[in-house]
Amino acid sequence: MNPKMDKLNNIKWNYILFLAVGILSFYISGFLLGTLSETYGVGIHGFAAVSFMLFIYAVLLAAGLIISKERSLSFITKAFAISFAAMFLISTSFFAWSAYDHVNSKAISADLLQTAPDKFVVLTEQELDEYPVIREAITSQQPVKVDSKEWEQTYDFLGEKGSSTVKYGDAYYDIGFITA
């Protein structure tokens, strides 16, 4: 075999190794943070969580450099750039998706009231057919996740009726609009 091709093939695999280091840094730190939280009740958030992820990254980067046996400054710089870019892109994508999901997280609840309130509106079967999420919240007595459009339509409907406290059957419910 050609020694030059072996060296190029080895360098290619080393770069793949450092791409994996960046990807694994995110997932391993997330797994460890989740395990600490669930098992020991230790919640690490904000800057401490990012610091923990960078610590895991540094450990994996050092292990990758030891495994690769490459010691040139050029290679170390490229390995750092590849692995850090992978970790950074995955992290920012995850946090952007989480923020988007958080902003669009909406639910509707119906709390059963023990006494008749002074102000309420009566909901008919036809209205509950038009707004099935209210019926579902009333019957399940649990918050019901809805999309933003349905949440807004239901909010506007009860606003037009004049109250978010409703009577359905013989019971009274306070309809709650939950945002994250």
Nearest by Cα to 68 from 140, 7, 14, 8: 14
The whole-number average pLDDT for the span 70-90 is 91
Residue 55: its pLDDT value, please? 94
Per DSSP, the residues of 76-97 read HHHHHHHHHHHHHHHHHHHHHH
pLDDT value for 8:
61
pLDDT of residue 88: 93
Confidence of residue 4 (pLDDT cuts 50, 70, 90): low
Which pLDDT value is given to residue 155?
92
Query: Dihedrals φ, ψ of 112, to 5°?
Result: -70, 125
pLDDT for 68 beyond 70:
yes
Mean of per-residue pLDDT scores for the chain: 88
Tens digit of each residue's pLDDT (9 = 90 or more) over 108-147: 999 999 998 999 999 989 999 999 999 999 999 999 999 8
Q: How far, in Å, CA of 29 to CA of 42, rounded?
A: 14
| Range scoring the smallest mean pLDDT among 10-14, 23-27, 48-52, 56-60 | 10-14
How much is the pLDDT for 3?
A: 65
The enclosing H or E element of 100 equals helix 73-103
Domain residue extents for the chain? 3-103, 106-179
Q: What is the mean pLDDT of residues 34-46?
A: 81
- Give yes or no for residue 1 having a pLDDT over 60: no
